[in-house]
Structure 1
Amino acid sequence: MGNKNGSSETLSNETITLLMQKTGMPKYEVELWYKAISSRSSKGKLSKKQMISIYKDMSDLDSTRISDVVDALEKVFDEDNSGSVDVNEFMRGFILTTKGDLKSKIDYTFRLYDENNDNKISGEEIKKMANAVTRMLGADETGSDEACCAIIHQFLKQFTGNHNGVIHRHDFIETVMRNRELLFVLSPFYGID
């Protein structure tokens, strides 16, 4: 998705179209966001520190929640797996997680937890998800095993399509769309407008 020459000096038509469709934003507003974000980039690329700064300065996201997902955020936004996030990639991720429709926010939430990109959350990924949730709810850095086990059990009960402790992408999206409490607990992006 990033440019082949390694930089993103212009806003791609693909990004403009996607953001207009998923957010209802007019083209000029998308272009204004692009100017604001690209002015903070280094040669069309954004470091993890720059991404976090943009979230803190340009969104309503609770800064303590974004800190919990900073590593995953960089991986998820790097759509072409180049090892860096270009401005177009960041624009898509940032705008969809802050101004996107509910389904876009839930999809990004799923992608945060699906570390190996196999379209399912299983085993160790579920445990990491539970640990992240307990930290977002105020537990210490390690979280307690008892609290994590309880959260894992609750998660799996919610997802009717889970098989052998696996949560598939489509089931995650459908279940979380129907359960706003679950969305609030799982997603660092919920409630951002």
Structure 2
Amino acid sequence: MSKKNHKAAEELYRTSCQKHYNKLEVEALIVSYQDLVGGSKMDRSLFREILHRKFNMTDDILMDRVFKAFDKDSDSIISMSEWVEGLSIFLRGTVEEKTDYAFNVYDLNGDGYISREEMFQMLKSCLIKQPTEEDPDEGIKDLVEMALKKMDYDRDNRLSRADFKKAIEEDDLLLEAFGPCLPEEKCACAFEAKHFGHNRMG
């Protein structure tokens, strides 16, 4: 690893990643970033390709929202530090960190709430369409109503961050209630095994 990369790893480790990674792992993520971008930049298209190839994510809306969650400075490029910091939550975040992350992904318009319309849009996008006699939109509307009944504690027909957090505290399976925005365990382990030479268990 170059002196420049070593210094970048030290800084990232010191400022934001030591909770989830050791210094060698931060260095490995920097190398992974450089290998993936190959002298170019990690734009939305490349990032979506990585999400698909490495983490089996396929939903267009959610992949775009994951990109936005990683792209902290909103410049439409994932920088090396955004890559490392984003992966620290994506792969090893606490339930609280992942709850905030998932809420930000699901809040499509960034107004601080997950609206009925946003729930409908995400569920419609991620559910497999089955040929049935019934109108599929009706089934999705029913799912939205069930989600609101279970998660909307203040009964204002939308989910605030507080509603979402309380729902996850009561049932962490609701973390990805509106579609997959985190990697499957096997994909996360495979990514870490490839880049760290071990996975989170080893």
What's the counterpart of residue 176 of structure 1? Answer: 168
**Residue type of the alignment partner of 1:174:** K
SS in structure 1 of the partner of residue 111 of structure 2: coil
**Residue type of the alignment partner of 2:11:** N
* Match of residue 49, structure 1, among 21, 33, 45: 45
CA distance in structure 1 between the partners assigned to 2:91 and 2:138 by the alignment: 33
Report matched runs for 1:63-142 at 5 Å. Answer: 63-65=56-58, 69-133=62-126, 135=127, 138-139=128-129
Contact 2:17 2:88 in 1 (8 A): yes
The superposition leaves residues 66-87 of structure 1 with CA deviations (integer Å, 9 ceiling, x where unpaired) of 5552222222222111232222
* Match of residue 30, structure 2, among 26, 34, 55: 34
Contact 2:106 2:118 in 1 (8 A): yes
Contact 1:122 1:166 in 2 (8 A): yes
Contact 2:152 2:159 in 1 (8 A): no
Identity of aligned residues (%): 22
- For residue 153 of structure 1, report the CA deviation from its aligned partner: 0.6
Q: 1:47 to 1:12 in 2, by over 3 A?
A: farther
- For residue 167 of structure 1, report the CA deviation from its aligned partner: 0.5
**Residue type of the alignment partner of 2:156:** N
SS in structure 2 of the partner of residue 164 of structure 1: coil
- For residue 187 of structure 1, report the CA deviation from its aligned partner: 4.8
Q: Does 1:167 align with 2:159?
A: yes
**Residue type of the alignment partner of 1:91:** V
Give unpaired runs (5+ residues) of structure 2.
1-6, 189-202
CA RMSD after TM alignment: 2.9
CA distance in structure 2 between the partners assigned to 1:52 and 1:39 by the alignment: 16
Q: 1:39 to 1:53 in 2, by over 3 A?
A: same
- For residue 166 of structure 1, report the CA deviation from its aligned partner: 1.6
- For residue 43 of structure 1, report the CA deviation from its aligned partner: 5.0
**Residue type of the alignment partner of 2:27:** E
SS in structure 1 of the partner of residue 24 of structure 2: helix
* Match of residue 19, structure 1, among 14, 17, 20: 17
CA distance in structure 1 between the partners assigned to 2:98 and 2:60 by the alignment: 17
Give unpaired runs (5+ residues) of structure 1.
1-8
TM-score calculated relative to the size of structure 2: 0.71
Contact 2:116 2:144 in 1 (8 A): no
By percentage of residues, which structure has more helix? 2
Q: 1:11 to 1:116 in 2, by over 3 A?
A: farther
